[in-house]
Amino acid sequence: MIPHPLRQSRRALLGSAGLGLGAIALNALLHDDAAAVGQAAGGSQLPHFPATVKNVIFLFMSGGPGHMDTFDPKPQLTALEGEFVPDSIAANVPNIPRSGVGSKLMASPFGFQKYGESGIEVSDLLPHTARHVDDLCVIRSLNHRIPVHGPAENFTLTGSSLGERPSLGGWVTYGLGSEARDLPGFIVLSSNSSGPAPQRPGWGSGFLPARFQGTQLDDQRGVPYSELPNLYSVADRREQLDFIRMMNRQHLQRQYQNSELEARIESYELGFRMQMNAPEILDLSRETEATQKMYGIDQKPSAVFGRHCLLARRLVEQGVRFIQLRNGGWDAHGSLKSNHINRCRATDQPIAGLLQDLKQRNLLEHTLVVWGGEFGRTPTTEGNRTGDKRGRDHSPAGYTMWMAGGGVRGGQVIGATDELGFVPVERPLSPHDLHATMLHGLGLDQHKLVYLHNSREEIPTVLGGEVIREAFAG
């Protein structure tokens, strides 16, 4: 039996109306209430100070690219090729991983050249990205202490190795929401699943309400299982959703702040809007042949990641707040040369195309692009492999990432590792510092973006990180 209308909440009243204007009004109120819940729980919904970044594209290279093979040249490593780490160097390098001392040094199989007005050196593996080096802020001194893929990936994307915390994308959409009405505010696209399994916490919501988790997108099919079945009309779906919503809202009245149920209700509506609008957004045939070629979509090695990068630009145009593009397979314990050649063939031109396209459309100035993996690779070989079969082990103790756009001052290098590439010797920085910096660009103060969890005010950077202020122009 439905209670007297005068004793009902506005949600219950509108929910009981079922179809028609009541359902339409309820949908609008749900959107407003979602923002209100975020504010009440600590999300600001507005920047804390003027922002230089509106959207983020995180190019996550899963498996760990070798920093001395991409953006951190080491001539001394070439000079000592095949030798054990000299005691004189080991003694002068603080906290050198002991596993590296007894292994033979491995010179990079790739050359380096200076590019742009800045003269930053970039590997011959990345000729397309290298042309944009004056837009890149290369950070050569990232480090942490987690040598295993899964926990390290969690740490890089959530700030904790345990996988229990929200991803950075979840925090960003919690704090700022999204301008995209017909798409999720946080979208994930994955390519090349070889190597370590992707860590779901990297796009999860953790202890935040479930609606802030990332949505996995298939560039060919859109959101899996979102298509309308055959012989099923839009009107049929609308009627079904209105009835499901009415039942769920009534059930929610008995479930105090059930974020999973709230997220499920909202997901039905978002899914419906995506069914109506996402196909057009995902249709890359609308792009010119020249644009698709710029992203490398016309070439087999780079076609998949090229489509993802082009989709990222289109999603930015739609107002999607945070986009994570994942490319796996960088875990080169053996055959590093062929591994990195293949991975760079798949990603170099698409990334360069993305930077060029964002720039020519005046989107790069407010879109922050971040590149890197969960760690780098050691200067030494792993095991007894020889020749081109040699590879490198994991190196969380020192590695490279870069940022571009969104007010970042390009053409600069921040930090440095030692002469062999083991550990930072200048401006050591952690993933927490990188997160604090990205949030700062978005106008978010890491200490003010809080969520009450287990009677503790949690912040995105766990115990705090340092904003890399020199990364920004002005």
Looking at residues 165-175, what average pLDDT do you find? Answer: 97
Condensed to tens digits (0 to 9), the pLDDT of residues 50-103 reads 999 999 999 999 999 999 999 999 999 999 999 988 877 777 776 666 555 568
Comparing 186-195, 199-208, 209-218, 240-249, the range with the smallest average pLDDT is 240-249
> Greater confidence, 30 or 434?
434
3 state SS of 322: strand
pLDDT at 230 over 80: no
CA distances to 173, 265, 321, 359 from 214, in Å? 9, 16, 11, 26
Looking at residues 146-160, what average pLDDT do you find? Answer: 97
Comparing 216-230, 342-356, 431-445, the range with the smallest average pLDDT is 216-230
Looking at residues 223-242, what average pLDDT do you find? Answer: 67
Confirm if 419 and 458 have CB atoms less than 8 A apart. no
**In the 8-state DSSP scheme, what is residue 110?**
S
Handedness of CA 199, 327, 118, 337 (dihedral sign): positive
Which token pair is 302? Answer: 């780079």
Confirm if 414 and 444 have CB atoms less than 8 A apart. no
- The pTM assigned to this predicted structure is 0.84
Q: What is the mean pLDDT of the chain?
A: 85
Burial class (CB in 10 A: 0-12, 13-18, 19+), 308: buried
Range 108-112 contact pairs with CB under 8 angstroms and sequence separation of 24 or more: 108/66, 108/68, 108/69, 108/73, 108/74, 108/77, 108/78, 109/69, 109/336, 109/337, 109/388, 110/69, 110/337, 110/340, 112/73
- What's the confidence (pLDDT) of residue 27? 44
Q: Which of 346, 370, 353 is nearest to 284 (CA)?
A: 353
- What's the confidence (pLDDT) of residue 40? 34
Looking at residues 394-414, what average pLDDT do you find? Answer: 97
Q: Is 225 left (phi over 0), alpha (psi -120 to 50) or beta?
A: left
Exposure string for 403-428, b = 16+ CB within 10 A, e = fewer: bbbbbbebbbbbbbbbbbbbbbbeeb
- What's the confidence (pLDDT) of residue 12? 47
Phi/psi of residue 376, nearest 5 degrees:
-105, -150
Which token pair is 116? Answer: 């742009």
3 state SS of 116: coil
Integer Cα distance of 12 and 1 in angstroms:
13
Phi/psi of residue 84, nearest 5 degrees:
-75, 160
For 168, half-sphere exposure in the C-beta direction (CA atoms, 13 angstrom radius) is 31
> Greater confidence, 278 or 246?
246
Comparing 161-165, 238-242, 256-260, the range with the smallest average pLDDT is 256-260
pLDDT at 182 over 90: no
Quickly list DSSP for 191-234.
E---SSPP-GGGG--TTS-GGGS-EE-BTTTBSTT-SPPTT--H
Domains of the chain: 46-233+289-471 (3.40.720.10)
Condensed to tens digits (0 to 9), the pLDDT of residues 355-384 reads 999 999 999 999 999 999 999 999 999 877
Quickly list DSSP for 400-464.
EEEEESTTB--SEEE-EE-TTSSSEEES-B-HHHHHHHHHHHTT--TTTS-EEETTEEE-TTTT-
Measure the CA angle with vertex 173, ends 315 and 160; round to 5°. Answer: 115
Looking at residues 298-321, what average pLDDT do you find? Answer: 96
Integer Cα distance of 210 and 119 in angstroms:
45
Confirm if 341 and 27 have CB atoms less than 8 A apart. no
Confirm if 212 and 270 have CB atoms less than 8 A apart. no
Integer Cα distance of 106 and 104 in angstroms:
6
- What's the confidence (pLDDT) of residue 18? 41
For 225, half-sphere exposure in the C-beta direction (CA atoms, 13 angstrom radius) is 4
Integer Cα distance of 185 and 211 in angstroms:
10
- What's the confidence (pLDDT) of residue 451? 96
